[in-house]
Structures are given as C-alpha cells and as structure tokens.
Amino acid sequence: MKKVTTSSLLKMKQEGQKITALTAYDASFAKLFDEQGIDLLLIGDSLGMVLQGCDDTLAVSIDDIAYHTRSVRKGTKRAFVVADMPFMSYSTPEQTYQNAAKLMAAGASMVKLEGGEWLMETITGLNQRGVPVCGHLGLTPQSVHVFGGFKVQGRDDLQAELLLEHAIKLAQAGIQLLVLECVPVDLAAKISEQVKIPVIGIGAGPKTDGQILVMHDMFGISANYMPKFSKNYLEESGDMRLAVKQFIDEVRQGAFPSELHSFN
Ligand code: KIV
C-alpha cells in the first residue's frame, strides 16, 4: 500500500485517473473510507454545518479543525489528508503561519484556503515554510454573505473569465490542488484543462480531475437538505462500505457526477 502524496495526485491527473475524495471528521469514518481506497480526505469546515448544526461554516474555529484533523489522521493509512483553514484564520501572515502550523502538527499534509488572486503571497509564504496549499474557488462557503446565499458561481462570461484567471494565478503562486465548487460544467472543464495541478470538483460536473463530496451528503443523512450536486449512495445498498465503494467506482468510471448533478 503506497501512501497518496502530492506527487501521486499530480501523476493521477497526468495519466487521466480520477481522484476520489470525501470529507471526514473522525477516526472511524476516516478508516472506513481509507480501507475502501479513497484517495483524499478533507477535514472541511463543513463540519460547522454537518456536525455542529449551524447554517453556515463561519463559526468554525482553528481548534475545531485541529481537533478533527488529529482524529482523522489516526484513522488514515493511505489517503492524503487536507485540512481547511476556517473563516478569518488566514487574514495576516503571522496568523496564517501559526494556524497552518497547528493543522500540520495535528496531522494534515496540506491546508485549504478559500479565495482568489489576493491569496498569492499567502500561498507562496506557506510553501516557503513547508506547507502545501489547496485552493478553493467558485462557491466558497466562507463568502456566503457576499454571494447572498449558496449560489452557483461563474455563470456569466465576465465571472467565468475572472474565475479562470484566479485559478491560473493561484497555480502560479504554488497551490498543488484546487477545489472548484458549484460552477458550470464547461467552465470547470476549461479550468481543469488550463491548469497543470489537479482540480477536484464538487457541483462542477464530470470533467474535473476528481470529485469530492461531504460525507453526510454522500450517505444522504445531512441535517438540512440534499444539494442537487450530491447523490445518496446509501439508498441503494444500505451498507456504508458498499456505498463508499460505489461512490469511488462511479467517480473512477466517470459515471458520477451525471448531468443530473451538474450545473450549466
Ligand atoms: O468544507 C468542506 O467540506 C469543503 C468541501 C465542500 C469541498 O470545503
């Protein structure tokens, strides 16, 4: 069993092999996902919604993420572990480095930041200090109040052009992975083609280099509602291991997401 690394993720993109990813927040689920062969686990600030029952991710703290990262790391042998930097935890260089250090010490192998070109210096500074970075563009949930709700991004030409430019700039600054959330299929395909790093989609159609879902959505047990871009994998099999296996197989075969789970 070879551990997944930034190099193997890049190789998967280059060889056209889809990357499979789920969020995880504890050791037991991390172990279950890891044993089924998931490539990447994200300790997402979505935990504010699916674990803490909030309406958004804004109240999640760095200590919350560090706590769950420690648990996920203990359950993981093979998958690559990425931890979210929560809302306002990367506003100044000093604050960013201290908080990233907490997550790396807790067991993350990479941190994820939401935002565009304005993060370039932050990304370079983290890289220089030994912290790999994942970008996150499109519907970035920490900006939900700027967007006026959880809405698909990049639908008009100007917005789409801007998102592509941000992706290119983030890649130039040194991100080694990009999450693209809730953008139209064609835009996600264009961004995935134009950047050399792997692009992991969520609500971004089938043409990205991989797919991620929030684990509670994939099991169909989220407290609030089921997003259009997700699929309840537990419904068919009634078995958690089979559900995860089916998600992994469908992503690898290009069967998920279908048009039903995508935006235009
Ligand atoms: O917080 C999270 O779970 C995320 C995923 C939706 C990509 O950022």
pTM: 0.98
DSSP string, 21-70: EEE--SHHHHHHHHHHT-SEEEE-TTHHHHTT--SSSTT--HHHHHHHHH
At 102-148, the pLDDT tens digits run 999 999 999 999 999 999 999 999 999 999 999 999 999 999 999 99
Q: What is the mean pLDDT of residues 80-105?
A: 98
| Active-site option among 181, 236, 250, 259 | 181
pLDDT of residue 223 exceeding 70, the answer is no
pLDDT of residue 236: 86
Ligand 1 closest atom vs CA 214: 3
Which among 87, 179, 211, 215 is the best mutation to test ligand 1's pocket, defined by most ligand atoms within 8 Å of the CB? 179
Q: What is the pLDDT of the chain when averaged over all its residues?
A: 97
Q: What is the mean pLDDT of residues 147-168?
A: 97
pLDDT of residue 254 exceeding 70, the answer is yes
| 198 CB near ligand 1 (under 6 Å) | no
Which among 43, 181, 199, 217 is the best mutation to test ligand 1's pocket, defined by most ligand atoms within 8 Å of the CB? 181
pLDDT of residue 226: 84
Ligand 1 closest atom vs CA 45: 1
* Active site (annotated) includes residue 181: yes
Calculate how far, in angstroms, residue 23's C-alpha sits from the geometric centre of ligand 1: 7
Calculate how far, in angstroms, residue 58's C-alpha sits from the geometric centre of ligand 1: 13
pLDDT of residue 224: 66
